Amino acid sequence: MDDRLPYYVGFSAFFADLGYQGAMAILPVFLIFALKLNFLEFGIVEAFIYGLGSLFSYIGGRLSDIYGSKKTWILGNSLIPLLSFTAFTLIPVLSISLFSAGWWMRNLRSPARRAYLAENTEDEKRTRSFGILHGLDVGGGLFSIVILIILVLERFPYKILFLYSIIPLIISTLIIIPLRLGRPVKREKISKKNIFNGIIIATAFFGFSSYSMGFPIITVSESTHYGLYLRIATGVAIYGIFLGFSSLTGFLLSRFKSRNEALSLSIFGYILYGLGTFGFVLSIIYRMGIAGFYTSAIILAVAFGFVETYEPSIISRLARTQGSSQGILSASRSIGFFAANIIMGALYSVSAVYSYTYGALIGIVAGIILISAMYLSRNK
């Protein structure tokens, strides 16, 4: 393996996130403040956008095995800029359709990108490679949020807030083109099948707890008494904090080796994510203000870094085919994500405390499921 390869893949991810993460962060503000959706409608739209991506994740994984990971990666990546035109209309159906189409192409290419990295990386270097990928990936998102906050404070219109994403997305695709083709790796059978199935089931439950970060953005925006633009910037900033600490976690995990990655994933990934979500509950009840919300976001970020590093790394070593297995992994979470945002939206319309309590409990259950799968595997 060329030791530089994870950085090439990571910098493509960096520019992709530099593009669409800003659009993703401003979307909930656009839906609530510009399109005037209520919280239940907002939850349904978020579920539609992010949840239905499960189908495209699965398709992307299958296409990766049939036509090659690089070709599928380029196809999906090149169509993500569709979401850059979201604000060119204020007709809800059209705006949501544009963002959805771009985001679904992002889902299509994600399993292929992971498969490509796994195909060109030795088993013992997978965790390091996926840690670098995650660090650069969400690191680009952090810079995207900084740019977005500046544009919001300068009072640029929604069209520009979405449209600036298109240039980094094009650069992201151009970085992929010179890379060599992947080398499909097949195994005769899945080893430690209980662990494999446990992660797939656990990540589905993690999806049920993985509400869109649009909810914290709106929570923070509504908790302040500043002017509109400063409120929006303060809300969007929580996403930047989340991405920044998640990026740092990915880089740290690429440097340190865990003796038991599955156990680390269950405790420091799923369960810690649930505890971080519970932090939002405490922040609301005890009126901790922005400090409480931002601290909770940091805990979520660390947990998410563990999940995004260890999930694909473990799956890549257990699976028979890389594309389909990474597609199943992404699809499983997206299925839960679909239901989570509808449930979160419905509960949020009654009380934000109820919605975050739900997310916290389900996240902890995901960790317990994986620990149980490990116990069954050990007994066998």
Confidence band for 95, pLDDT divided at 50, 70 and 90: very high
- Residue 346 has what pLDDT? 86
**Closest to 365 in 3D by CA, of 197, 201, 216, 212:** 201
pLDDT of residue 182: 56
Give dist(CA 209, CA 215) in Å, integer: 12
pLDDT tier at 200, thresholds 50, 70, 90: confident
- Nearest-angstrom CA–CA distance, 333 and 111: 12
Mean pLDDT of 302-331: 82
- What per-residue confidence (pLDDT) applies to 377? 67
- Cβ-contact 370, 311 below 8 angstroms: no
- pLDDT > 70 in the chain, percent: 93
Question: Which pLDDT value is given to residue 323?
Answer: 76
pLDDT at position 151, please? Answer: 93
Which pair of tokens denotes residue 105?
């192409």
- CATH number for the region 5-178+190-379 comes to 1.20.1250.20
Q: Which residue has the higher pLDDT, 275 or 289?
A: 275
What is the pLDDT of the chain when averaged over all its residues? 87
The better pLDDT of the pair 227, 136 is held by: 136
Residue 378 or 40, more confident: 40
DSSP 158-189: HHHHHHTTHHHHHHHHHHHTTSPPP---B-SS
End-to-end Cα distance, the chain: 34
Tell me what pLDDT residue 127 has: 86
Q: Which of 162, 145, 149 lies closest to 98 in space, CA to CA?
A: 162
Single out the residue of 363, 345, 341 nearest to residue 206, CA to CA.
363
302 or 90, greater pLDDT: 302
For residues 138 and 202, which has the higher predicted lDDT (pLDDT)? 138
- Model pLDDT for residues 324-339, shown as the tens digit of each residue: 778 877 777 777 777 7
d(CA 143, CA 240): 8
pLDDT (mean) for 92-103: 94
pLDDT for res 145 = 92
> How far apart (Å, rounded) are the C-alpha atoms in residues 78 and 14?
15
pLDDT in tens, 146-196: 999 999 999 999 999 999 999 999 999 999 999 887 555 444 444 556 677
Q: What are the pLDDT digits (tens) for 3-51?
A: 789 999 999 999 999 999 999 889 988 998 899 888 788 888 887 887 7
Average pLDDT rounded to a whole number, residues 291-297? 95
pLDDT tens digits along 107-143 = 999 989 988 998 888 877 888 899 999 999 989 999 9
Q: Return the closest-CA partner of residue 85 out of 7, 18, 169.
A: 169
- Can you read off the two tokens belonging to residue 10? 């990571």
Tell if the pTM clears 0.75, that is, is over it. yes
Q: Could you tell me if 329 and 199 are in contact, meaning their C-beta atoms sit under 8 angstroms apart?
A: yes
